[in-house]
A and B are shown apart, each in its own frame.
Chain A
């Protein structure tokens, strides 16, 4: 609360009477000052120490990644070729390829996205924009956060019971995608809610103040603004799905497939399972094949992540506050 508006305070008003000008005679009143201990050297040292600690942490993480990439590339890079990508697996290591697994991974990811994104984003919008703050909502909040931490093998068992047996999807692509959707739903919901939370309340109030309904507000302003964050969460969760093995082993994805799945009800395999299968074999040549498979999987993951970054940048240009 101020009542000085309309007037620019002059220097003497700001500093009172005690503004000291060099050369002027010392004022009659002496100012007593407290003792200060700046500990300048310790503060500078601890700042540098922290800088190096965090730098080392980064270097360690990157070094581990480089070592992994380097050892995989050394073993398998020569093996990666067009025929490796376009051949089906074989009992002869030199002829084996990832065609079925690569297509299986691509279809599974697309089908998982088609199931999990609408449900996940819808649930996030409901919880963040529509649901009143109630005990039930807090109960749901806690459980979604907990679900994100459930081991993936447990989702595999649930998928086996629910989709393979009860829904009678069999050991199909659809059963796999439904199971993967359950696995990544909590991640999509949590990430989307965080993205919605970052949108300033002022935007919502502005829309409500113009006589907009909740849905109009969400549809026209909140969702578009939150889209980059939602997309990032969605794509990161999908790249998790690309790399998952355990739940698909559980529901019975095949490890040897000599055809590309054509309908959602077909049997399927995915890259991690194919790689797992090859590494489990005694012949050294298959380990080279496995390394080549890992390179293909990493390339797929990096493509998906690059897509996420590209889309985020594209949509982010619009909204800044």
Chain B
């Protein structure tokens, strides 16, 4: 397999405004380098998919966008990531405030072991939400396409739901914060096809309001939901552009091989 050099990467520049701008970002864990010199611009109100084989650095890149890598003590990030025009890795940036504006949905559904209602209200509560909590719970669950299934049992434990419902609860929990961006780390990898379909349809509705960055192993999923696709390989960004272009007329041989299923 040819190693994609940085200078030969094909990186498309979408038009402004951008939700997130990644400039020359490197991430390393101890001596191993997980992300190498990645730059890309994520336009507002779009869905951007990060694809690539296991270990290519796509999850690491995603986690650096809301500083979740801070919790890995060996992780080191250089370069800059701009959110609303300011560098989230600047000394004066507050990661707690940042994560309030950039929500996250994780690979494994991780509802709190409390009631469905409390799952939704806790985040807004600690961040000083002043509105009507009943309305917030209903609208968040409706937007996550979960309301009809849980309306009568908001007091029950979030852990009593099925896997697919738990993941939609986690999405509702993220939506309730009314963030600017939602990062999703393989949100459907633990779910059955029916739940996956529901979440994909949900994403298409959510982009009206939020910018979504989704890491996925599933190329069909990337193709179905995303507006832009970034293909990463061995820590480097190989190709970034409109999804149709990346899948139908890839500029890089490596991308062509990957999207046609020749490796991965």
Q: Is the CB of A321 within 8 A of B159?
A: yes
Q: How far is the CA of A38 from the CA of B149 in the complex (A)?
A: 51
Would A203 and B112 count as touching, CB distance under 8 A? yes
Q: Are B110 and A212 in contact (CB under 8 A)?
A: no
Take A5-B220, A209-B174, A210-B173 as given contacts and tell me if A202 and B110 are in contact as well, using a CB distance cutoff of 8 Å: yes
A208 interface hit (Cβ, 8 Å) = yes
Tell me whether A208 and B73 are in contact in the complex, defined as CB-CB below 8 angstroms, given that A203-B110, A318-B113 are known contacts.
no
Q: Which residues of B contact A204 (CB under 8 A)?
A: 71
A225 to chain B: which residues have CB within 8 Å? 113
Residues of B within 8 A of A (CB): 53-54, 66, 68, 71, 73, 96-101, 103-104, 106, 108, 110-114, 122-123, 126-127, 157, 159, 170, 173-174, 177, 217-220, 261, 264
Looking at A133, A202, A318, the one whose CB has the most chain B CB atoms below 10 A away is A202
**What distance in Å separates the Cβ of B132 from its nearest Cβ neighbour in chain A?**
19
Sample of 4 more A-B contacts, CB < 8 Å, known A206-B173, A210-B123: A1-B53, A205-B68, A205-B110, A206-B110
Q: What's the least CB distance linking B213 to chain A, in Å?
A: 14
A194-222 contact mask (Cβ, 8 Å, vs B): 1 or 0: 00000010111111111111001000110
In the A-B complex, list the 10 residue pairs whose CB atoms are closest, starting with the nearest: A211-B100, A210-B123, A202-B110, A209-B104, A3-B261, A319-B113, A1-B264, A206-B110, A211-B99, A133-B73
- Inter-chain contact A221/B96, CB cutoff 8 Å: no
Please determine whether B110 and A210 come into contact, CB atoms closer than 8 angstroms: no
List chain B residues, Cβ under 8 A from A23. Answer: none
A211-B100, A212-B126 given as contacts; is B106 within 8 A of A205 (CB)? Answer: yes
Provide the residues of chain B in CB contact with A321, threshold 8 Å: 113, 159
Q: Tell me, yes or no, whether A81 is within 8 Å of chain B by CB.
A: no
A91 to chain B, nearest CB (A): 59
**Distance (whole angstroms) from the CB of A137 to the closest CB of chain B:** 11
Known: A133-B73, A208-B99. A5 touches B113 (CB 8 A): no
- Say yes or no: A320 contacts B96, CB within 8 Å: no
Interface positions, chain A 1-31, Cβ under 8 Å from B, are 1-3, 5-6
* Chain A interface residues (CB < 8 Å from chain B): 1-3, 5-6, 132-133, 200, 202-213, 216, 220-221, 225, 318-321
B264 touches which one: A3, A210, A220, A319 (CB < 8 A)?
Answer: A3
| Shortest CB distance B89–A (Å) | 17
Pick the contact of A209: B73, B97, B99, B217 (CB < 8 A): B99
Which A-chain residue is minimally distant from B196 (CB atoms)?
A5
In the complex, are the beta carbons of A200 and B110 less than 8 A apart?
Answer: yes
Nearest-Cβ distance from residue B256 to partner chain A, whole angstroms: 14
List the B side residues contacting A216 at CB < 8 Å.
126
Residues of A within 8 A of B100 (CB): 210-211
Q: How far in angstroms is the closest Cβ of chain A from B2? A: 19
A68 to B202, CA, bound (A): 67
Given the complex of chains A and B, what is the CA–CA distance between A260 and B264 in angstroms? 77
With contacts A3-B264, A200-B110, A319-B113 taken as known, whether A206 is within 8 angstroms of B73 at the C-beta atoms is: no
Q: Are B68 and A208 in contact (CB under 8 A)?
A: yes
Q: What's the minimum C-beta distance from B162 to chain A, rounded to whole angstroms? A: 14
Q: Which residue of A lies closest to B261 (CB)?
A: A3
Please tell me if the beta carbons of A209 and B66 are within 8 angstroms of each other in the complex: yes
Using Cβ atoms and an 8 Å threshold, which residues of chain B touch A320? 113, 159
Q: Bound state CA distance, A212 and B177, in angstroms? A: 12
Q: A3, A5, A213: which has the most chain B beta carbons within 10 Å?
A: A3
A97 → B minimal CB distance (Å):
48
Question: Which of chain A's residues have a CB closer than 8 A to the CB of B177?
Answer: 210-211
Q: Is B113 a contact of A211 with CB atoms below 8 Å?
A: no
